[in-house]
Amino acid sequence: MRRSAAPSQLQGNPFKKPKFIPPARSNPSLNEEITKLNPDIKLFEVATSKTFLQSQNDPRKCSLNLLPTEESAREINHGDNYRGKYCFEACAMATLGPHHTVHSATKEITVSKGQEEEPAGLVKYFSVVWCKASKKKHKKWEGDAVLIVKGKSFTLKNLEGKDIGRGIGYKFRELEKIEEGQTMMIGGKEIEVMGIISPDDFSSGRCFQLGGKSPAISNFCQAAKKCFSNPLKSVYKPSSKENRQNSFCKCKPRHDPCAPNSLVMLRPDSRHQWMFNTNCFPLVDVVIDPHLVCHLRPHQKEGIRFLYECVMGFRVNDRYGAILADEMGLGKTIQCISLIWTLQCQGPYGGKPVIKKTLIVTPGSLVNNWRKEFQKWLGSERIKIFAVGQDHKIEEFTKSPFYSVLIISYEMLLRSLDQVKNIKFDLLICDEGHRLKNSAVKTTAALVSLSCEKRIILTGTPVQNDLQEFFALIDFVNPGILGPLSSYRKIYEEPIILSRQPSASEEEKELGERRAAELTCLTGLFILRRTQEVINKYLPPKIENVVFCQPAALQIELYRKLLNSRAVRFCLQGLLENSPHLICIGALKKLCNHPCLLFNSIKEKECSSSWDKNEERSLYEGLINVFPADYNPFMFTEEESGKLQVLSKLLAVIRELCPAEKVVLVSNYTQTLNILQEVCKRHGYAYTRLDGQTPVSQRQQIVDSFNSKYSSDFIFLLSSKAGGVGLNLIGGSHLILYDIDWNPATDIQAMSRVWRDGQKHPVHIYRLLTTGTIEEKIYQRQISKQDLSGAVVDLTKTSEHTQFSVEELKNLFTLHESSHCVTHDLLDCECSGGKDHTGDALEKFPISRSCQLGPHPQKSHSLKPLSMAQLKQWKHFSGDHLSLTDPFLERIRENVSFFFQNITNQTTAI
Ligand SMILES: Nc1ncnc2c1ncn2[C@@H]1O[C@H](COP(=O)(O)OP(=O)(O)OP(=O)(O)O)[C@@H](O)[C@H]1O
Ligand SMILES: [Mg+2]
């Protein structure tokens, strides 16, 4: 019998020992075994189904009948061989003539009669190739698989992790004898054992990766950190003396690798040289331009090394992608600029540049930021970059050989994809690339179609702890590295998720953890994430405050009324399917920002034709009567909103105490920004504004102007969702988050705009929350959902805010009027937190109380959302505490029921 090879045979199965037995040859040792076997007719029982099947295969062979898959069952159970409940396999070895060559598959594996004791926990794993049972002479191995033998049972999994055969109730003594080279029938499939898999390789999932069609991630981390003794000797084969002399002259490193503080890239290993240095150029050190190196922080140097090794394919064979996921503000831009500049001028083989053209795709608001950063670090002479904009059409880039870097927004890329496709790019950088987490979206498809191998994703926003989104990002930078999605789900996602279920068995937990660890290990080769801590020492102090603002009387009255509405009561009945809970939540959030926003919504709805059937009617019914009869939303007052009162006082005190400092004022809603803008006007504060409506072409100009020390703007009104990502707003040193988002990442994004490299002043951050309301609940949800996994990346899942249990809704729709801070009440803190007690307690125990002591020793300065436990370590006090040392808080205390405060880089703070 001749069989064509399965993928692993073609590629070389790493689990297969050298002693390979070709399909058509017998295994003598097994033949010996076989002759010892009982020649009697064997009964094969498929334990689960209690169905016995007769092999349709060579009658001389015994079947090891695993539970047949539907497919195999169909194949086997045709015709009259099927005996219903009991079938017999006529497999008498004695009937075989001496001339018959017997495959190891003829080894009989019989059903246990129950006398044998199964050694506890004995599990063996084998890499096998399989094909459907057939009588054909020329069989074809159909695929690689993993055979798991546990005690008396078997499972056969294909390399996508799917079960393709299963059976129990066999004699474990015989199972013990399975060995390499053996062929056998299982579940209607013929298999050949190619090798033994270690438990470690199975539990890590590596055997699935390496077994066959999955890409080889064989040469994991570069062992080649060591320098070659004499690289030139090993690869350089000059054809003549002259040639050699010429080459040597040309092949000097561009910068001196031995100079003090030089940053020299890793040299390629021999495999890489063999693959890529086909012309046998001498090896040349790639050295980062000292002009750049003198500015680089240590983590940035490390980041450049990492990027270089990834895109050169040093870290994973034949893969050229990387994800740089440094937290916000760590300088991902300068790391990429250094890489581009280096690869464009240098290369390890004869010094020849590795890339010619680079494409940078970025959110619209950052196109010009990239251009500016290039200019900042490289000046305008070294490198010619082209930023696509209204006045800079992509045609210019196409026509001119002059430019080597094209910067384009995601939106523009989609519009001009055909033109972009015509240009050959050697390096693709996707800034804020977490948007590629869905492979079905157009942008991802467009970028994939560019067929550029060297791909880098930059993201400061945590890669969400969603294993499928994670897959999409990985698969984008290094296509196919985790195999197809279906196998990834079986091998990684399912076991990992299963292991996290409360009901998971110890075995499931262990497997899930191992798979997660393996996934981290695989992907860790080309994902780099550093936290804020690495840069803290270069930054000024940061004083973060969570300010619980007392709601105004009008707000409380309206809030009560909303909670008593038919709509809210309906939500609490538990009929969640058509529940208008999102509308109710939206209304409460608006009310917290300012009652006039709610007033506007009611009026709008009243005028709309759908008002009668609208669920909002049941929410807003009677609400308008709570407003004064002559209420004019355009004439809103600050006193009508607790937060607005606090904001107004805060702006005044900043203006007074730090006249040279500026404020970034953030909201997620355009309508709220309108109110805040009106407040600026009323107080005569010069402001500028950036939201979703701001034309992309103007954004950088607005940012630059605000950051300029000559700017008279006092306030930068920012819609964080619309345009906050990636912006540098270091001109501002006070940042006020006026409202809260369900997703902590949105708020962290906003907060990171000011506390970043280049900031000169201590940074003050104020998060305003209305005491006892839904805003506190959202905040609690943000902080209690901390660090759900740690499984693959250190990152936290976005709070899902559309699904709530009735219990959660009850909690959301409660107003805590008597509490000074519900969040503190939940902290289980030693101090009462109450107005009277806090004041006394602070004076009595100013230092010893754990809740007052500021930073926790293990507190992380990373930008991960805060946890409840961490919050408890923050300094906290009620608004009427006698002596507030912070002059800003002192001024707003009248309207504040509670504060939390934390200071990072405390030395020179306030
Ligand atoms: N080594 C450095 N020395 C001085 N300033 C630096 C350095 N590295 C970066 N910066 C500055 O720090 C600011 C933040 O850098 P950058 O915009 O690259 O951050 P990022 O990592 O992309 O953050 P985000 O995720 O928010 O986009 C920029 O103004 C940049 O010029
Ligand atoms: Mg950035």
Co-location of 334 and 355 in the same domain: yes
Distance from the alpha carbon of residue 726 to the mean position of ligand 1, in angstroms: 9
ipTM summary value: 0.99
| Number of other residues whose CB lies within 10 A of the CB of residue 440 | 7
Kindly report the CATH number assigned to the domain that includes residue 762. Answer: 3.40.50.300
**With a 6 A CB cut-off, is 454 part of the ligand 1 pocket?**
no
- The answer to whether residue 460 sits within a structural domain is yes
Among 611, 635, 659, the domain-final residue is 635
- Residue 726 CB less than 6 A away from ligand 1: yes
Query: What is the C-alpha to C-alpha distance for residues 228 and 572, in angstroms, rounded to an integer?
Result: 70
State how far the Cα of 704 lies from the Cα of 729, in Å rounded to an integer: 8
Boundary of a domain, candidates 463, 497, 530:
530
Instruction: Report how far residue 496's alpha carbon sits from residue 516's, in angstroms, rounded to the nearest whole number.
Output: 6
17 inside domain: yes
Ligand nearest to the CA of 324: 1
Asked, for residue 430, whether it belongs to a domain, the answer is yes
436, part of any domain: yes
Q: Whose CA is nearest to atom 14 of ligand 1?
A: 329
Amino acid at 722: A
757 close to ligand 1 (CB < 6 Angstrom): yes
Q: Closest Cα to atom 18, ligand 1: which residue? A: 331
User: Closest ligand to 367 CA?
Assistant: 2
Domain shared by 675 and 796, yes or no: yes
> Quick check: helix, strand or coil at residue 125?
strand
Angle, helices 332-345 vs 298-311, to 10°: value is 50
Residue 732 CB less than 6 A away from ligand 1: no
Residue identifier of the C-alpha nearest atom 8 of ligand 1: 331
Backbone φ/ψ region at 163: left (φ over 0), alpha (ψ -120 to 50), beta? beta
Looking at the structure, do residues 294 and 311 belong to the same domain, yes or no? yes
How far from chain centre, in Å, is Cα 383? 32
Question: Residue 378 belongs to a domain with what CATH number?
Answer: 3.40.50.10810
Query: What domain count does the chain have?
Result: 4
Q: What is the pLDDT, as a whole number, of residue 539? A: 92
Residues 671, 621, single domain; the answer is no
* 148 HSE (CA, 13 A, CB side): 21
Task: Give the range of the structural domain holding residue 106, as residue numbers without chain letter.
Answer: 2-211
Task: Outline where 661-773 has alpha helix (H).
Answer: 670-683, 696-707, 720-723, 744-751
How many whole angstroms from 371 Cα to the centroid of ligand 2? 12
Same domain, 603 and 745: no
What is the token pair recorded at 60? 């001389």
| Residues 627, 631, 632: CA angle, nearest 5 degrees | 140
Q: Are 606 and 722 in the same domain?
A: no
Starting at the edge strand found earlier in the chain, the sheet holding 454-458 runs 385-387, 405-409, 358-362, 427-430, 454-458, 321-324, 527-528
Ligand of minimum distance to the alpha carbon of 334: 1
For ligand 1, the distance from its centroid to the CA atom of residue 685, given in whole angstroms, is: 29
In a domain, 543, yes or no: no
Contact 165, 72 (CB under 8 A): yes
Is 382 contained in some domain? yes
Helix (H, G, I), strand (E, B) or coil at 764: strand
Mean pLDDT in each 10-residue stretch from start to end of the chain (910 residues)?
Answer: 51 44 36 35 30 32 34 34 31 32 39 51 80 72 82 81 78 71 78 80 73 39 32 40 52 92 96 93 96 96 98 95 93 97 96 96 92 94 90 87 94 93 96 85 91 93 73 94 92 88 86 89 92 89 95 97 91 72 92 96 80 72 92 95 97 96 95 97 97 87 93 94 79 96 82 89 96 94 55 36 76 93 85 44 31 31 65 82 79 92 72
Phi and psi at 122, nearest 5°, equal: -75, 110
What's the CA-to-centroid distance between 329 and ligand 2, angstroms? 7
422 and 279 within one domain: yes
Q: Where are the alpha helices (DSSP H) in 785-821?
A: 806-812
Last-in-domain residue among 469, 499, 530: 530
Q: Is residue 226 part of a domain?
A: no
User: Distance from CA of residue 631 to its chain's centroid?
Assistant: 48
User: Which amino acid, residue 107?
Assistant: K
Closest CA to 674 of 764, 593, 587: 593
- Dist. CA 105 → ligand 2 center (Å): 60
Residue 404 CA, ligand 1 centroid: distance in Å: 22
Pocket test residue of 333, 429, 539 for ligand 1, highest count of atoms within 8 A of CB: 333
CB distance 758 to ligand 1 below 6 Å: yes
- Domain with 603 in it: what CATH number? 1.20.120
What is the arrangement of strands in the sheet containing 189-197, beginning at the earlier edge strand? Answer: 63-64, 183-186, 189-197, 123-132, 143-150, 153-158, 163-167, 67-68
Residue 391 DSSP symbol: T
Quick one: which ligand is closest to 461's CA? 1
221 part of a folded domain:
no
792 and 655 belong to one structural domain: yes
The reported pLDDT for the residue numbered 581 is: 85
Does 256 lie in the same domain as 155?
A: no
Same domain, 240 and 381: yes
- Is 78's C-beta closer than 6 angstroms to any atom of ligand 1? no
Judgement on whether residues 353 and 443 belong to the same structural domain of the protein: yes
Burial class (CB in 10 A: 0-12, 13-18, 19+), 78: exposed
Which helix (H) or strand (E) segment is 172 a member of? helix 172-175
Find the length of the chain: 910
Q: Are strands 321-324 and 405-409 parallel, antiparallel or unpaired?
A: unpaired
Give the H/E segment covering residue 688.
strand 687-690
Q: How far is the CA of 730 from the centre of ligand 1 (A)?
A: 10
82 and 9 in one domain?
A: yes
Conformation bin of residue 718: beta by default, left when phi > 0, alpha when psi is -120 to 50: beta
Pairing verdict, β 2-4 and 138-140: parallel
Q: Give the residue among 8, 17, 493 at the shortest CA–CA distance from 209.
A: 8
CA of 676 to the centre of ligand 2 (A): 27
